[in-house]
Amino acid sequence: MNPDPRRWWALAVLATAQFMVIMDTSIIAVALPRMQEDLGFSPSGLQWVFNGYAVAFGGLLLLGGRLSDLFGARRVFATGWLVLIAGSVLAAAAGTPGVEVAGRAVQGVGAALLAPAAMTLLMVLFAGQPTELPKALSFYGAAAPAGGTAGVFLGGVITEWLTWPWVFVIYVPIGLVTLALTPATLPAVPGRRSSTDLAGALAVTAGLALAVAALVTAPANGWTSAATLGQLIASVALIAGFLLLQRLVRAPLMPLRIWRTPGLAAANLSMALLGAAWIPMWYFLNLYIQQVLGFGSFASGAALLPMTALIMVGMIGVTGRLLARFGARPLVVTGLAVLAAGLGLLALADPHGSFVADVLPGSLVAAAGMALAFIPATMTAIGGVAPTEGGLASGIVNTTYQVGSALGLAAMTAVAVANGAGQSTDPVELTSGYTTAFTVTAAVALAGALLAALTFRRPARHSGSTEVVRAEEHASV
């Protein structure tokens, strides 16, 4: 099979998409306080700027993969960019919290179409090229942590010297250029006739959204109120309905047999708890830096750069070598434990503290834990399945991480609000809420380390670089 002469240009287009999808989760971090002030978000409602994206992205990833198979990867890739651009315009033009969250959700839908289609196109472009595929996957994988790091910095620059809507406007010209290059660079992959489990996708997405909503509103409504219990019961019913559909429909989004794969359940449990610990930490650390320490937007973005740069260097340059030498289990257990230690240091933050004493040590320790755990857990989730189910396993673990992130952020926001970070602007009360959230999140990460030690049955040793870099494509903030 002759290689596609456009493959390296095509790879640049695909890596740009991966870069932008991951940047979309980090570029908003520094802009959150300005958005809260301008749009009137409540302290508990502000998390929906992240969770609106995460729920749509995580809930629809499996459907995005199925649509890519059904209609052709290039067509779905282009459609994903159109949807992402539309969501970006809506988010940039928002004048109310509801419109902002809607724009973020539309962005999440676009990302859920983009991500699986891009991976399919990459595998098609480099099929039959065993010497080039590892390099291509490495380049594509490196775009993810690069996007997370760039998002933090660009978010600070844009918010400081322009205005927060520009963190969304930036997607429009990049998206239009990518769309213009798509027909000339990406192969036309034919679709396959199959059914689409749309009901399953809607059920799992709605179930996740209701669970997040229940956690967000529980402090105000009461944890045992009819509204909270009703939302939780409806969420469980929808997710149970999704699982039932996977047993009944001819072409399920997630064939349940895949869960018989050794290590798959343990790895996904670790990923869920990793997301539930990491994303709340990232969210509340940024609020502490701006609202308590008084950093401006640019300074806040710069303050988060050491943490995100350490993750990028660790994931690309260190974790792969450690994984090949020690296997996944020790790295996942150690990574979650180190993340818990970093969160414990952040829980000691002082309302009259400083960046050097109260932010830098804990954030770097937490970043080291994230860099250690993420790729080995992802590798375990996708490494044991048959090659024909690699895309499905990849979609499941990415979904699991997003679900854990959304539920963890919702729960920790409720904790923070209940412990001082409500309507108050007093640094002492805000710090009390944030440090309580750090403490509880540290317990989540520690529980993840203990569960990983119990459920990862055997260390999996990976000597090939191809398997390691396949996991890097999922690296997040």
Class of domain 257-477: mainly alpha
Q: Are 374 and 273 in contact (CB under 8 A)?
A: no
By mean pLDDT, which of 75-84, 175-184, 412-421 is the weakest?
412-421
Within 10 Å of residue 251's Cβ, how many Cβ atoms?
13
% of the chain exceeding 90 in pLDDT? 26
Question: pLDDT at residue 239 above 50?
Answer: yes
Average pLDDT, the chain: 83
Q: Which of 149, 142, 412, 431 is nearest to 304 (CA)?
A: 149
Planar angle of CA 287, 292, 295, nearest 5 degrees: 75
The predicted pLDDT at position 333 comes to: 95
The predicted pLDDT at position 1 comes to: 54
First CA to last CA across the chain, in angstroms? 38
The predicted pLDDT at position 438 comes to: 96
Which pTM does this prediction carry? Answer: 0.80
Q: Give residue limits of the domains in the chain.
A: 1-192, 197-250, 257-477
The predicted pLDDT at position 344 comes to: 96
User: How far is residue 383's CA from residue 393's CA, in Å, rounded to a whole number?
Assistant: 9
User: Is 1-192 in CATH node 1.20.1250.20?
Assistant: yes
Question: pLDDT at residue 461 above 80?
Answer: no
Within 10 Å of residue 180's Cβ, how many Cβ atoms?
10
pLDDT by residue (tens digit) across 272-290? 999 899 988 988 898 899 8
User: Which two tokens mark 432?
Assistant: 């009390």
Confidence band of 209 (pLDDT split at 50, 70, 90): confident
Question: pLDDT at residue 362 above 90?
Answer: yes
- Do 257-477 and 1-192 fall under one CATH topology? yes
% of the chain exceeding 70 in pLDDT? 88
Mean pLDDT over 140-162 rounds to: 77
User: How far is residue 128's CA from residue 141's CA, in Å, rounded to a whole number?
Assistant: 20
